[in-house]
């Protein structure tokens, strides 16, 4: 089979906001305790942060990490997590039925973020709390000194403000599982007032309002419209969350789920622009896809966890090769929508539905999904090119006209590197891809990375961490201004030109 893709240097989607390669650390399971933080671990630094894990995060070049939740934030008192550690309370953590020791809190997390070279996207609690706790937290974090909360931070040993620029106004406030769930009206009003006050404290911040917790929610779209009608002039982004699974063991249908993600994005864009029109506003609301991933493998195991334990193994999905293909496709989908999606967080980063796994006291290893995330984050910076694609199509259980090749391309800021990201999601056929390059000047193929495996269910484990790893054996060449490459059936491809 053959596919043809046309790229033109001047036909662009948008510059990539590097924050689309963000991730997420929630106080949940072993993400914090036993994940990024494990004092006493052989690799722990003086703060207790595991350097084997930090090293893998630095390699990913994660630009921003959402914190501290997730469902956790809706019951969190941030004051519990600052000041002398031995005075911090142990609390019942109601979202995940565990005990939170509060050994790690805001200041420690900011220290960790600096160590791994990332920024913090901080969420405030709009479940059990509201305007007051949010204004105090932002004063604590972002004001230099001379006020109660900024001086308190200084007294806790952090003389410089944290200067956190991106803030989430709560989490999934439409979900019945959320602590302090609200109607769109209730949440819209609270988010508006919280946003106003937070920007009074620090006008330089950017704010994310909660969209629906998924496009399958009964209130989806009307929720966004109502929330934005209340908050439009005070917030900058609206959030999207989605998780996919292959519960039916139907690989072709599973890999086509990027089409659902794309439709979700386009519906939220349309809703933002509807409110814009209604308000006769000049302002554009962009999208923060601040939770996305595969999540289903661990659902059964999670039902068996004892209540009120500390950092139990929760949401520990073991990812296989086909999951990596879908994650690659989801990253391509985010890139294709780079004109409106300015932030996104792979949920999450360590142990909890994560690309990085650890053993308490032991090793850390990379799950299959680590690799597409690594490749796009490292090579997918610059400007997304408009992709015209003609490829074989097929239907699956839920999707019609699924393109066998899902691809996009990014040109870097110096105009001297082009990277094509492509998934061949055809179950049986290798596909010859021809990429016509128009107006680019001289380039050479420097690398064609491939992630492939003959078993779609293959995983990386502690015992066998290199079972699914990328190789450099792709056969892309450049001939007469066109890239020619054979893309193996069920493969992730990164074709780099310089």
Q: What crossing angle do the helices spanning 370-379 and 51-60 adopt, rounded to 10°?
A: 50
Question: Bridge-partner residues for 451, per DSSP?
Answer: 492
User: Could you tell me if 169 and 126 are in contact, meaning their C-beta atoms sit under 8 angstroms apart?
Assistant: yes
What's the token pair of residue 197? 């006050």
Stretch that binds ligand AHR, among 67-75, 264-272, 362-370, 414-422 (CB under 6 A): 67-75
Question: Bridge-partner residues for 394, per DSSP?
Answer: 402
> Of 148 and 177, which CB lies nearer to ligand AHR in the complex structure?
177
> Of 70 and 211, which CB lies nearer to ligand AHR in the complex structure?
70
- Which H helix or E strand runs over 138? helix 131-142
> Of 134 and 345, which CB lies nearer to ligand AHR in the complex structure?
345
Stretch that binds ligand AHR, among 32-40, 65-73, 194-202, 426-434 (CB under 6 A): 65-73
Check binding of 317 to ligand AHR (CB under 6 A).
no
- Cα–Cα distance for residue pair 171/124, rounded to 1 Å: 8
What's the token pair of residue 309? 């334990």
CB of 293 to ligand AHR, least distance (A): 8
Among 136, 246, 348, 460, binds ligand AHR (CB under 6 A): 348
> Of 24 and 37, which CB lies nearer to ligand AHR in the complex structure?
24
Restricting to residues 152-181, which ones interact with ligand AHR according to CB under 6 A? 171-172
User: Could you tell me if 21 and 65 are in contact, meaning their C-beta atoms sit under 8 angstroms apart?
Assistant: no
Restricting to residues 186-205, which ones interact with ligand AHR according to CB under 6 A? none
Restricting to residues 98-127, which ones interact with ligand AHR according to CB under 6 A? none
What's the token pair of residue 59? 């390699």
The catalytically annotated residue of 38, 291, 322, 452 is 291
- Cα–Cα distance for residue pair 386/10, rounded to 1 Å: 9
Among 169, 210, 347, 433, binds ligand AHR (CB under 6 A): 347
CB of 421 to ligand AHR, least distance (A): 25
CB of 89 to ligand AHR, least distance (A): 22
CB of 348 to ligand AHR, least distance (A): 6
Cβ atoms within 10 A of the Cβ of 165, count? Answer: 15
Restricting to residues 372-431, which ones interact with ligand AHR according to CB under 6 A? none
- Binding residues for ligand AHR, total number by CB under 6 A: 10
CB of 251 to ligand AHR, least distance (A): 24
Backbone angles phi, psi at 348, to 5 degrees: -125, -150
CB of 172 to ligand AHR, least distance (A): 5
Among 5, 13, 18, 26, binds ligand AHR (CB under 6 A): 26
> Of 173 and 325, which CB lies nearer to ligand AHR in the complex structure?
173
> Of 173 and 423, which CB lies nearer to ligand AHR in the complex structure?
173
Stretch that binds ligand AHR, among 59-67, 69-77, 226-234, 472-480 (CB under 6 A): 69-77
Question: What does DSSP assign to residue 326?
Answer: H
- Cα–Cα distance for residue pair 276/32, rounded to 1 Å: 39
> Of 279 and 307, which CB lies nearer to ligand AHR in the complex structure?
307
CB of 225 to ligand AHR, least distance (A): 21
- Cα–Cα distance for residue pair 173/246, rounded to 1 Å: 27
Residue 291 annotated to the active site:
yes
User: In this chain, which residue has its C-beta nearest to ligand AHR?
Assistant: 70
> Of 235 and 347, which CB lies nearer to ligand AHR in the complex structure?
347
Give how far Cα 32 sits from Cα of 39, 357, 407, Å: 11, 12, 34
Restricting to residues 274-293, which ones interact with ligand AHR according to CB under 6 A? 291
The catalytically annotated residue of 139, 172, 224, 322 is 172
Q: Is 410 exposed, middle or buried (0-12, 13-18, 19+ CB in 10 A)?
A: buried
Among 70, 372, 380, 474, binds ligand AHR (CB under 6 A): 70
Question: What does DSSP assign to residue 101?
Answer: -
- Which H helix or E strand runs over 187? helix 184-201
- Cα–Cα distance for residue pair 383/411, rounded to 1 Å: 5
Backbone angles phi, psi at 276, to 5 degrees: -55, -45
Cβ atoms within 10 A of the Cβ of 334, count? Answer: 26
357-382: b (≥16 Cβ within 10 Å) or e: bbeeeeebbbbbbbbbbbbbbebbbb
Residue 119 annotated to the active site:
no
> Of 71 and 142, which CB lies nearer to ligand AHR in the complex structure?
71
Stretch that binds ligand AHR, among 68-76, 137-145, 329-337, 476-484 (CB under 6 A): 68-76
404: Cβ contacts below 8 Å, ≥ 6 apart: 1, 3, 391, 392, 393, 394, 424, 425, 426, 429, 431
CB of 28 to ligand AHR, least distance (A): 6
Point out the residues that are catalytic: 172, 291
Residue ranges binding ligand AHR (CB under 6 A): 26, 69-71, 171-172, 213, 291, 347-348
């Amino acid at each position: 089979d053959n596919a043809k893709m046309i790229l033109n240097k001047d036909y662009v989607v948008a510059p990539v906001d590097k924050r689309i390669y963000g991730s997420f650390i929630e106080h949940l399971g072993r993400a914090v305790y036993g994940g990024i933080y494990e004092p006493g671990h052989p690799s722990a630094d003086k703060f207790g942060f595991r350097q084997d894990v930090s090293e893998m995060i630095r390699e990913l070049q994660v630009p921003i990490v959402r914190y501290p939740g997730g469902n956790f934030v809706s019951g969190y008192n941030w004051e519990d997590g600052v000041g002398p550690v031995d005075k911090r309370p142990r609390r019942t953590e109601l979202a995940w039925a565990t005990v939170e020791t509060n050994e790690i809190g805001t200041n420690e997390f900011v220290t960790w973020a600096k160590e791994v070279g990332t920024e913090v996207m901080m969420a405030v609690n709009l479940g059990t709390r509201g305007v007051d706790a949010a204004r105090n937290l932002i004063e604590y974090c972002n004001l230099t000194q001379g006020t109660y909360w900024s001086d308190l931070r200084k007294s806790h040993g952090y003389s410089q403000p944290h200067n956190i620029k991106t803030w989430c106004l709560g989490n999934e406030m439409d979900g019945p599982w959320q602590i302090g769930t609200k109607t769109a009206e209730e949440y819209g009003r609270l988010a508006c007032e919280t946003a106003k006050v937070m920007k009074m404290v620090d006008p330089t911040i950017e704010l994310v309002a909660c969209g629906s917790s998924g496009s399958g929610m009964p209130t989806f779209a009307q929720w966004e419209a109502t929330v934005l009608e209340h908050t439009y002039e005070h917030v900058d982004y609206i959030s999207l969350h989605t998780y996919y699974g292959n519960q039916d063991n139907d690989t072709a249908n599973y890999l086509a789920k990027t089409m659902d993600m794309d439709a979700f994005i386009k519906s939220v864009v349309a809703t933002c622009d509807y409110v814009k029109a209604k308000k006769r506003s000049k302002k554009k609301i962009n999208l923060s896809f601040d939770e996305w991933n595969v999540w289903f493998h661990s659902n059964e195991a999670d039902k068996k966890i004892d209540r009120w334990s500390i950092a139990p193994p929760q949401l520990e999905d073991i990812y296989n090769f086909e999951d990596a293909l879908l994650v690659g496709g989801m990253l391509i989908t985010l890139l294709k929508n780079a004109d409106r999606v300015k932030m996104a967080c792979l949920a999450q980063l360590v142990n909890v539905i994560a690309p990085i796994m650890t053993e308490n006291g032991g090793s850390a290893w990379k799950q299959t999904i680590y690799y597409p995330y690594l490749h796009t984050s490292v090579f997918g910076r610059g400007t997304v090119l408009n992709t015209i694609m003609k490829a074989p199509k097929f239907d699956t259980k839920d999707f019609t006209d699924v393109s066998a090749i899902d691809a996009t391309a990014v040109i870097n800021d110096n105009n001297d590197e082009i990277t094509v990201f492509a998934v061949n999601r055809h179950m049986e056929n290798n596909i010859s891809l021809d990429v016509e390059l128009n107006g680019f000047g001289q380039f050479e193929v420097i690398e064609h990375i491939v992630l492939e495996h003959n078993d779609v269910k293959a995983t990386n484990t502690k015992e066998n961490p290199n079972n699914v790893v990328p190789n450099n054996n792709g056969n892309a060449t450049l001939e007469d201004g066109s890239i020619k490459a054979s893309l193996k059936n069920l493969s992730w491809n990164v074709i780099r030109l310089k």
